Amino acid sequence: MQKSMILTGAAALVLLTGCGKAEAPAPTQTTTTEVPVETVPDETMPDDSATAPHRFASWAGKWTGVEGMYVTITTAEPGKYKLEMQSDLDTKGSYDGADSEHGIMFKRGGEELSLHRGSGDETGLKYLAGKTDCLIVKPGEGYCRD
Domain housing 64 = 57-144
Higher pLDDT, 30 or 47: 30
User: Three-class SS of residue 55?
Assistant: coil
* Domain count within the chain: 1
Rounded to the nearest 5 percent, the helix, strand and coil shares of the chain are: 20, 35, 45
Contact 84, 108 (CB under 8 A): no
Residue 50 in this model has a pLDDT that exceeds 80: no
pLDDT at 24: 52
pLDDT at 37: 43
In a domain, 106, yes or no: yes
Residue 99, beta-bridge partner list: 104
pTM exceeds 0.75 for this model: no
Amino acid at residue number 18 = G
In a domain, 84, yes or no: yes
How far is residue 35's CA from residue 131's CA, in Å, rounded to a whole number?
62
In a domain, 139, yes or no: yes
pLDDT in tens, 77-134: 999 999 999 999 899 999 999 999 999 999 999 999 999 999 999 999 999 999 999 9
How far is residue 141's CA from residue 115's CA, in Å, rounded to a whole number?
10
Residue 18 confidence class, pLDDT cut points 50, 70, 90: low
In a domain, 79, yes or no: yes
In a domain, 37, yes or no: no
